[in-house]
């Protein structure tokens, strides 16, 4: 028996490969199918099933392309309706993978179709559960993402309580819990950095599995949920209705464009120029009006959060050798309209003596010597980070919601911008600059550096 977790850090996402006696199943695959096809070939396995725990909102799954490539059956839980060929498992229905058995446990609450899959070994002993977004390590899924549901988040939270207490908690303590996400995902509030655990330990440490009334569970789960990123509903619909073939997306997007070709596309199609280099590189020089989102880190979630049009034509400025990776990671969240990348990277733009824009930086110590009562300081961290400690004179404007507040500031004023370390503030500065703000100063090192200066900080009680 082989059970392999395939974890992707930038999405905080876990897919799973299960095989036995030449047959395999894959749970919640990512958009790109080649890694799974390679695994099947290496193990000499035939893919029998592709199981989806639910309609994912934070990434586009690879189930449709993978089924087309392998002829495996796509399986969802009850209530899932798709426009492509798929099978709806009944509650407690069993599926054979070699000598193994995978049992579908309908666990609605995160979404109506959410299903947990219980794996039984050759001796029919429970081995592990693949919980999707029903149960995380240290948390449970948010109850506000159901597609076109007339139910409230309180209704769904109540369903989740019942699912946990009737379907999951009665299972043996020694089985492993394999969730779809870990820390960094917006699908829960406070997930652990661990990517799996025993159910018994989760019963001890996970607040949602404690002795708590249904009413208190609902209140806890529905308090303090930030609005879902705008791309969540769009990704869920792509997973439900189907999407462009991944190989076609890559062929169209990973095209090398010379400087003159790049300029022609800018003039004719008015695309978004997405610069994915480092914050430091972007600061000292970038194409005017380019948006910065660094490829290292949670690139795809930030793209989905900040670029409101999922069909937006995009041109890429990337580190040399990472252009195709950028197109692939854009596709993971459904941004499939990439028109190519700048051949030779930003250096080719410089060598062609084309216009260049910059963003000013200031270090924390130099900033601390300014007359703070005469400057405007924007803290773009999340609300909970701001509440945990912030400069007494700083204004909270989270990057997550910049599209709601970017037009509310005074474009004649200078703004000093910071986050926790410097990445998010540079993203914010690039968006503001592209929207007509000219006097922007990024504070290097963010609040981590500022908190070590003599500037006064305060915590929200």
Give tens-digit pLDDT for 150-187. 889 999 999 999 999 999 999 999 999 999 998 877 77
Q: What is the pLDDT of residue 146?
A: 75
Q: What is the pLDDT of residue 255?
A: 97
Residue 359 has pLDDT above 70, yes or no: yes
Provide mean pLDDT across the span 81-108.
Answer: 98
CA-wise closest residue to 80 among 128, 125, 130, 114: 114
Q: What is the pLDDT of residue 147?
A: 67
Token representation of residue 377: 């300081």
Give tens-digit pLDDT for 233-271. 999 999 999 999 999 999 999 999 999 999 999 999 999
Q: What is the pLDDT of residue 286?
A: 98
Token representation of residue 175: 């089985």
Which DSSP symbol is given to 148? Answer: T
What gap in Å lies between CA 120 and CA 40, rounded to an integer?
21
For the ranges 76-80, 114-118, 122-126, 368-372, the lowest mean pLDDT is seen at 368-372
CA-wise closest residue to 367 among 350, 356, 379: 379
| Domain covering 244-351 in this structure, CATH number | 3.40.250.10
Residue 128 belongs to what H/E stretch?
strand 126-132
In the CATH hierarchy, which fold is given to the domain comprising 360-458?
A: Oxidized Rhodanese; domain 1 (3.40.250)
Which DSSP symbol is given to 271? Answer: P
What gap in Å lies between CA 127 and CA 99, rounded to an integer?
13
Gap between the terminal Cα atoms of the chain? 51
What gap in Å lies between CA 218 and CA 237, rounded to an integer?
26
Provide mean pLDDT across the span 108-116.
Answer: 96
Cβ–Cβ under 8 Å, residues 295 and 329: yes
Q: What SS3 state is found at 200? A: helix
Cβ–Cβ under 8 Å, residues 186 and 301: yes
CA-wise closest residue to 156 among 202, 164, 181: 164
Q: What is the pLDDT of residue 335?
A: 98
Residue 14 has pLDDT above 70, yes or no: yes
| Domain covering 2-234 in this structure, CATH number | 3.60.15.10
Residue 83 has pLDDT above 70, yes or no: yes
Residue 133 has pLDDT above 70, yes or no: yes
Average pLDDT over the chain reads: 95
Q: What is the pLDDT of residue 148?
A: 65
Q: What SS3 state is found at 293? A: coil
Provide mean pLDDT across the span 46-66.
Answer: 97
Q: What is the pLDDT of residue 192?
A: 84
Please state, as a whole number, how many other Cβ atoms lie within 10 Å of the Cβ of residue 288.
Answer: 11
Token representation of residue 394: 């700083």
Domain ranges of the chain: 2-234, 244-351, 360-458
Residue 39 has pLDDT above 70, yes or no: yes
Cβ–Cβ under 8 Å, residues 114 and 54: yes
Q: For 146-167, b where at least 16 C-beta lie within 10 A, e where not — what string? A: bbeeeeebeebbbbbbebbeeb
Phi, psi dihedral angles at 284 (to 5 degrees): -80, -10
Domains 244-351 and 360-458 share a fold: yes
């Amino acid at each position: 028996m082989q059970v392999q977790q395939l974890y992707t850090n930038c999405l905080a996402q876990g897919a799973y490969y299960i095989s036995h006696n030449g047959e395999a199943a894959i749970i919640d695959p990512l958009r790109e199918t080649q890694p799974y096809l390679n695994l099947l070939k290496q193990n000499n396995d035939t893919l029998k099933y592709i199981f989806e725990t639910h309609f994912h909102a934070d990434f586009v799954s690879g189930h449709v392309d993978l089924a087309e490539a392998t002829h495996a059956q796509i399986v969802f839980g009850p209530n899932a309706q798709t426009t492509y060929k798929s099978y709806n498992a009944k509650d407690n229905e069993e599926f054979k993978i070699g000598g193994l058995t995978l049992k579908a446990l309908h666990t609605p609450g995160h979404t109506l179709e959410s299903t947990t899959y219980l794996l039984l070994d050759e001796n029919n002993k429970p081995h592990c559960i693949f919980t999707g977004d029903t149960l995380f390590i240290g948390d449970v899924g948010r109850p506000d993402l159901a597609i076109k549901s007339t139910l409230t988040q309180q209704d769904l939270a109540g369903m989740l309580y019942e699912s946990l207490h009737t379907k999951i908690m009665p299972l043996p303590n020694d089985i492993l819990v394999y969730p779809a996400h870990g820390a960094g995902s917006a699908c829960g509030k406070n997930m652990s950095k661990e990517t799996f655990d025993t159910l018994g330990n989760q019963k001890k440490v996970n607040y949602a599995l404690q002795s708590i009334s249904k009413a208190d569970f609902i209140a806890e789960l529905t308090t303090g949920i930030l609005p879902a990123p705008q791309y969540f509903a769009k990704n869920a619909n792509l997973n439900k209705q189907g999407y462009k073939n991944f190989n076609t997306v890559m062929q169209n997007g990973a095209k090398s464009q010379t400087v003159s070709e790049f300029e022609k596309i800018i003039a004719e199609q008015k695309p978004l120029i997405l610069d994915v280099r480092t914050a430091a590189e972007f600061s000292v020089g970038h194409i005017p009006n380019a948006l910065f989102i660094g490829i290292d880190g949670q690139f795809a979630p930030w793209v989905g959060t900040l670029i409101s049009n999922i069909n937006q034509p995009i041109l890429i400025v990337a580190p040399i050798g990472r252009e195709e990776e950028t197109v692939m990671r854009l596709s993971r969240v459904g941004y499939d309209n990439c028109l190519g990348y700048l051949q030779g990277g930003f250096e080719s733009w410089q060598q062609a003596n084309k216009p260049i824009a910059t963003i000013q930086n200031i270090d924390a110590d130099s900033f601390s010597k300014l007359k703070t009562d005469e400057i405007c300081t924007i803290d773009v961290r999340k609300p909970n980070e701001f509440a945990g400690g912030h400069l007494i004179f700083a204004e909270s404007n989270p990057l997550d919601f910049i599209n709601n507040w970017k037009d509310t500031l005074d474009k004649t004023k200078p703004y000093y911008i910071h986050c926790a370390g410097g990445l998010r503030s540079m993203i914010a500065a690039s968006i503001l600059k592209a929207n007509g703000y000219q006097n922007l100063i990024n504070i290097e090192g963010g609040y981590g550096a500022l908190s070590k200066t003599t500037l006064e900080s305060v915590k929200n009680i």
